[in-house]
Amino acid sequence: MRIRPTLNWEPTGDLPAATTDLSAVVDAVRAGGVVVLSGAGLSTESGIPDYRGEHGSLRRHTPMTYQDFVGGEEARQRYWARSQLGWRAMTRADPNAGHRAVTALTRAGLVTGVITQNVDGLQQAAGARHVIELHGSLNRVVCLRCGRTSTRADLDRRLRAANPGFEAVAERHRAARVNPDGDVELPEDAVREFRLVPCADCGTGVLKPDVVFFGENVPPERVALCRETVDGATTLLVLGSSLTVMSGLRFVRRAADAGIPVLIVNQGPTRGDRWAAGRVELPLGEALSTVVAEVAAPGPGGQEPVSG
């Protein structure tokens, strides 16, 4: 029997109460050396829903798992048909105030590392450099046979050529809601008619988005880089993540075990609250803009102002 990956988490026991006071976050950021661990909640203000919030996509949508994707042609056909429409919606999304605030803090040298669980590329689009993409990126495609990577834009062109009638389908479903994994709802008849294309390099390989699906392991070298980044932090700041899956939660636990303070800004309890020094419950764009404003004035050591 196939074991399904953990998709949901329900709070158990007494968790620390949340606050709307940002002073601890401001103090930590002002001191510098902060590492950010961001989740889908950071992108909701860009029009991309999170997985588990009040309007989270898991309420209406079960994301593709790695086991399903590699297990059959039908699942891959369904994924790529729906992703062909969803990826286009993703490319139209713009970075929001939260992304811009994180970028401003990295440029000021106060945030020294960014680990994102998001696959939408919006943090990088906001100008942040050296972002560790824990779960990969929808903008890349990998061949499961030869391992070659290519751009999603290149695959988009090839899929358009193989599916000329799909443009009419895309037009009819232009307003469909996109999910954090780039998936949208499509009728079964549109899915059944969708033609896949093989790897352009080896000619036969199965193409997969270069993202870590539910049920798939994060590459070990990426995990090691994240551990090294977290180990060098003075504070780990979690932004917009429920920390339901272990891929992100393990870094919270690692920081706490090492005595590195963990602060969380998230609307709703998280699986990491018991290891955190505090959780702030505010919209991220508002909260992070406030943090930038609070640390903008030059400090006693002549620190350069932060600009968004």
Q: Would you put residue 10 in left (φ > 0), alpha (ψ -120 to 50) or beta?
A: beta
Identify the pLDDT of residue 48: 86
Handedness of CA 120, 123, 127, 132 (dihedral sign): negative
Q: What is the dihedral of CA 272, 103, 136, 229, to 10 degrees?
A: -60
Separation between Cα atoms, residue 199 and residue 150, nearest integer Å: 9
CB 268 within 8 A of CB 281: yes
Known binder of ligand: residue 118? yes
User: DSSP state, 146?
Assistant: T
Q: Residue 36: is it exposed, middle or buried by C-beta count within 10 angstroms (0-12/13-18/19+)?
A: buried
CA distances 204 to 140, 143, 191, Å, are: 18, 9, 21
Residue 191, SS3 per DSSP:
helix
Task: For residue 201, give both structure tokens.
Answer: 């390099």
Known binder of ligand: residue 185? no
CATH pick for 23-294 out of 3.40.50.1220, 1.10.10.1800, 3.30.420.40, 3.30.200.20: 3.40.50.1220
Half-sphere exposure of 96 (CA within 13 A, CB side): 18
- Considering 61, 99, 135, 173, which one is annotated as catalytic? 135
Q: Give the start-to-end residue ranges of the domains of the chain.
A: 23-294
Known binder of ligand: residue 40? yes
Identify the pLDDT of residue 251: 98
Amino acid letter for position 218: V
Q: What is the mean pLDDT of each run of 10 residues along the chain (308 residues)?
A: 50 82 98 97 88 45 84 93 83 94 97 96 96 96 97 95 82 63 71 92 97 93 98 98 94 98 96 96 97 79 54
Handedness of CA 43, 274, 34, 21 (dihedral sign): positive
CB 179 within 8 A of CB 60: no
- Is 173 known to be catalytic? no
Known binder of ligand: residue 39? yes
Closest by alpha carbon to 213, among 122, 138, 115?
Answer: 138
Identify the pLDDT of residue 8: 59
CA distances 220 to 12, 22, 134, 147, 272, Å, are: 31, 35, 11, 16, 22
The full length of the chain comes to 308
Separation between Cα atoms, residue 47 and residue 170, nearest integer Å: 19
Can you name the residues that pair with 37 across neighbouring β-strands? Answer: 115, 238
